[in-house]
Chains A and B, each alone.
Chain A
Amino acid sequence: MVGDWIQVVTGSLFWEYRNILVRGLIINFYVFFLAGVLAVGMGLVACLARLSPLRALRWCGTFYAELFRNTPEYVLLVWVHFVPPLVLTLLLHTRINFSPLFSAVVALGLASSGYFTETFRAGILSIPRGHIEAARSTGLSSLLTFRWVILPQAVRKMLPESLNQFISLLKSTTLVSLISVPDLMYQVSMITQEQMRPMPLYSGAAIAYFVIILSLSALVGKFSEGWRAVGRA
């Protein structure tokens, strides 16, 4: 037992497999990046739908955001990986399979786009109406008002929240190992099965994620503080 602890502290077993593990971590970040792009894109679309003057569109946006905010990520991941390919296969009469990476990106992207929708909406709604009316009455078109009056202020307001959303997204990328995307957790479980010694590697993985995510969120905290100070000035 003490020997195991020493192994964790010195990371000897961890060090032996560093190449595989780092490759896994890179896949984590790759999924994170792609899913993040999808989430921001879909979040923007749904947010605009929620703010549109058409009631049907607003309703669709709300439904979209609520649906994906209320689905557990793992459930969505499994659903996306197994159900849509089968439906498409039945409809098109050709065999369709989603690669694990594709399902992972789609599921995680959709899941976090629900949160982004709300963040964006709150940011845009926080702009006082007077600003918009003032801009319109000085003769700016609605596009120019959006570009030069609403957006700069809204972005500043939603940035801290969005960055926190990104950190949650990074945390949920660990789930992709469950549909056999070869990320860090997947490698860890594979090596563990080979070696029959779960203790050092799982502890190592936990510590690695802890260090990475803690430093990222510290960075985000510092950054948002500065950003808020700029906003006040």
Chain B
Amino acid sequence: MRILQRIIWNNRGEFLEGLLVTGQISLIAIAVAMAVGLMICLIRMYCRPLRCLAILYIEFCRSTPIYVQLMWVNYVWPELFGWPQSFFAAGWAALALQSSGYLAETFRSGIEGVVRGQREAALSTGLSPYLTMRWVILPQAVLMMTPSLMNQFLVVVKSSCLVSVIAVPDLMYRGLRLTSIWFEPIEILSFTAFLYVAIVFALSAAIKWYSDRVRSRYA
């Protein structure tokens, strides 16, 4: 108990800051991934000449391991594009890269999941294509996509621990650093792992609760 107090409680600031960075990087990553994913999805569905490129992008994001992408973004992008200049930016860029591929497919299945007749009915009552999208297709598609979107957020939170490898000071990084300062890996690493499990578990329970509710209400 004394050791717990000495190491965990006295370093609570460290852990909290780490949690904050983990939360920050995950939120930025999922927001960017949603924007990019939506764009790629629209290109894939409605822009014929660029369709091949969009498919290639999606497949690349989905079939390269996140760690490889992280290294690639961190070491290769600055040389190729002159960006990102900080580890933090490289971290969220890599997480967003991975998720945007998955989200593009999620968006597509959401939009295609709306029954064809609805679109035709809306168009034949005189709604413009934009209004059809805005008032008929999107509300239903969003409802259907929300659970998988939230699941993708969960995946981002889970893989965000990898950004510690490129020295972004997230929860995992702080845990490893405290371990090397105090040399008490049993307590510190176990506590770090416990925090991750607790966060991911709470998030996934919330997602499950929410999607069950949506399903029971609308389906």
Contacts and interface: CB of A to CB of B under 8 A. Distances in A.
Interface of A: 1, 4, 66-67, 69-76, 78-79, 82-83, 86-87, 171-172, 174-175, 177-178, 185, 188-189, 192, 198-199, 202-203, 205-206, 209-210, 213-214, 217
Interface of A is mostly: helix
Contact of B71 (A1, A70, A72, A185): A185
Given A209-B68, A210-B64, 17 more contacts: A69-B204, A72-B159, A72-B162, A74-B162, A75-B172, A82-B185, A171-B63, A172-B65, A174-B68, A175-B65, A202-B72, A202-B75, A202-B76, A203-B76, A205-B68, A206-B72, A213-B63
B6 to A, nearest CB: 18
Q: 4 nearest interchain CB pairs?
A: A198-B75, A171-B65, A213-B63, A70-B200
A69 B196 CA distance: 11
Contacts of B165: 74, 178
Given A66-B201, A78-B189, A210 B63 contact: yes
Contact of B172 (A1, A74, A175, A185): A74
A189 B72 CA distance: 11
A178 B172 CA distance: 13
Contacts of B76: 198-199, 202-203
B189 A82 contact: yes
17 contacts: A1-B80, A4-B79, A72-B161, A72-B162, A78-B176, A79-B190, A86-B185, A175-B162, A178-B67, A198-B75, A198-B76, A202-B71, A206-B69, A209-B68, A210-B59, A213-B63, A217-B63
B8 to A, nearest CB: 15
Contacts, number: 106
Interface of B is mostly: helix
B148 interface: no
A71 B196 contact: yes
Given A199-B76, A203-B76, A206-B68, A70 B204 contact: yes
B186 interface: yes
Given A171-B65, A185-B67, A79 B80 contact: no
Nearest to A211: B63
B211 interface: no
B175 to A, nearest CB: 8
Contacts of A69: 204
Contacts of A171: 63-66
Nearest to B61: A210
A171 B197 CA distance: 21
A210 B60 contact: yes
A114 to B, nearest CB: 11
